[in-house]
Amino acid sequence: MAVASADIEAGLAYHFQQPTLLEQALTHPSWLAEHERAEAHNQRLEFLGDAVLQLASSILLFEVFPDEDEGTLTRIRSALTKESTLAGFGSALGLGEAILLGKGEQRHGGAQRPSTLADAFEAVLGAIYLDGGLEPAMALVRRLVAPALADVRALLASENPKGALQEYTQEHYHGVPRYDLLKVHGPDHEPRFEVAVVFLGEALATAVAGSRRAAECQAAEAALAILQQRDAAAAEEAPPAPSGK
């Protein structure tokens, strides 16, 4: 393991009674294929960790939002457990530097690939559950998701950025944005789509991604942030309202 187990445990705030579980959780299938002595990779633990995550996040949301309905709770949980969110957790815990990868995966940047980081995080969560039960797994989930739950509106916007942008522009400007495809880059088998978000005649933001939908979502997220920052700055500069006296 490139990073000492003690360092990973410090980030997790959890000490394993069975260290082999942590090692397995950080063993990518590509490593197993190149090392005959390796006993198991992390896919089974990832399967378990996914279920633990769903349960832990459901319990947490049930506690934190006693007045929300099932639909809203489901949307929040979906945003908390999507790949990009889990990859962020894995990166924050330093799992990318610790996961054991085959040489090919290493050469192609596998340690920082979102799917690899997300899988490793779920596998580690599954390992914690097997080693210590639900309580320490819940504690880790609670600690990691707390910052996101402080701004649920932003969290849900990240789940559906195009919908969030349209809702914002309709509410504040009584209009809707337009998405223009500017250019398609790269070879036919691996195209990159460049998209601009246009609103009220202005190209607010552009993005490039492997699909047009992904590029539109990224551009929408950036455009929403720009509009919110502008409106916040304008509100600060506006003169105070008359006192009414």
Q: What is the CATH number of the domain that holds 25?
A: 1.10.1520.10
Q: What is the CATH number of the domain that holds 215?
A: 3.30.160.20
Q: Which of 122, 131, 216, 221 is catalytic?
A: 122
Q: Is there a domain that residue 155 lies in?
A: no
| Token output for 228 | 């919110």
Q: Are 205 and 222 in contact (CB under 8 A)?
A: yes
Q: Which of 23, 50, 131, 221 is catalytic?
A: 50
Q: Are both 25 and 60 inside the same structural domain?
A: yes
Q: Which range of residues forms the domain containing residue 56?
A: 5-150
Q: Give pLDDT < 50 ranges for the chain.
A: 2, 245
Question: Is 39 known to be catalytic?
Answer: no
CA distance 219 to 209: 10
Cite the beta strand spans of 92-155 per DSSP E. none
With CA atoms as reference, report the closest residue to 185 among 202, 206, 166. 206
Question: Is 188 known to be catalytic?
Answer: no
Q: Is there a domain that residue 244 lies in?
A: no
Domain end: 129, 150, 171, which one?
A: 150
